Amino acid sequence: MTDLTVVVPTRNEAPSIPSLITRIARAVDGIDAEILFVDDSDDGTDGLIRTLAEDAPLPIRLIHRTDGVGGLSGAVVEGLTAAHADLCVVMDGDLQHPPETIADLLRAHRRGDVDVVVASRYAQGGQADGLADVVRSAVSRVTTALTRAMFPLRLRECTDPMTGFFLIDRTRVDLAALRPRGFKILLEILARNPLRLREVPFDFAERHEGSSKASVRQGLHFVTQLATLRFGKMSGFALIGAFGAVANLAIMAGLTHIGVSYVWAAIAAAEATIIGNFVLQERFVFRDMTGSASGGWLRFAKSFTFNNAEALIRIPVLALLVETWHISSVLAAAITLAVAFVARFAFHSLVVYA
């Protein structure tokens, strides 16, 4: 067994790699260590790593991925799984995480009674000057505060759960239980595993090469990850249900506007959104459960049957609200959809994907 594996997920980081290897080698001098690059690049970074590995001062391994499953977080999980050491340092490949801090992480771990050591930009003595601009700095601090507020117990000792720079004993983590997506793998690890944690401050360096991978898409991944971690599958189910409810109301409003009876409009809207919701739930909510559940068409049949049975109950209630209480048909539909949500989630979790 190697004593330490430095896991470096990379995507188009070629200009930084030579200096990164040299600095890591100096930081782990005297330790039986390896660098494991998990590379999603399409700019030749993998070829450069292979070339540099031939004369590197420490062992270098490369996993070059072509599917990019799970993004950066997926690359980290793949690296932790393939590491030759149980003690792993995870860091970015763009030199914003200074390799010299590895020594601080190791010293903190050697003090004992700790499973993960986090390199924090926000601990006393740390700096976040490497964030691209005032906007990114503000977004980072706000999202960090929000995340800590949503996990007050698991993150009570962590000032920077969004960092990608940390040391971890992988034997303390259920890697198979992780659901990597986007950038924030440390949040995923800390939220899903009760770990003893210590922090060391570090200076988040300015980017000298390449460009930030942050994007609106990554922001959406983060919001989805946060909601799923905090509220479980119900949050994803609710998001899709909310989208379906809006679509349902829009279809119903459109049909009634052109003269269709509100009852027939509600039926048409229900059928369209039942099918649409099932497709989205398969893809984004229950994807990890489909392998051990019944076949796809049978799952659809169960979902379609239940939702139509629910609609047979809901639509007469809708009519009662409209005709007896004189509530707007669209508002009445919104009320009945909200009431049906819990029943639909329970049925799908316990029956459709059993």
DSSP string, 204-240: -PPP-SS-----HHHHHHHHHHHHHHHHTHHHHHHHH
What does the mean pLDDT of the chain come to? 86
Superfamily, domain 4-229:
Spore Coat Polysaccharide Biosynthesis Protein SpsA; Chain A (3.90.550.10)
> Which residues, in sequence order, are bridge partners of residue 63?
38
Domain with CATH 3.90.550.10 in the chain: 4-229
Q: What is the pLDDT of residues 73-108, one digit of tens each?
A: 899 999 999 999 999 999 999 999 999 999 999 999
First to last CA, the chain: 40
Asked if residues 101 and 90 have their Cβ atoms less than 8 Å apart, the reply is no
* Model confidence band, residue 209 (pLDDT cutoffs 50, 70, 90): low
The arithmetic mean of pLDDT across residues 224-247, rounded, is 76
SS3 (DSSP) at 308: helix
Collect all residues with Cβ–Cβ distance below 8 Å to 55 and sequence separation of at least 6: none
Q: What is the pLDDT of residues 106-155, one digit of tens each?
A: 999 999 999 999 999 988 888 876 655 576 677 777 777 777 766 777 78
pTM: 0.66
Orientation of helix 329-347 relative to helix 296-325, angle to 10°: 150
- pLDDT higher at 283 or 97: 97
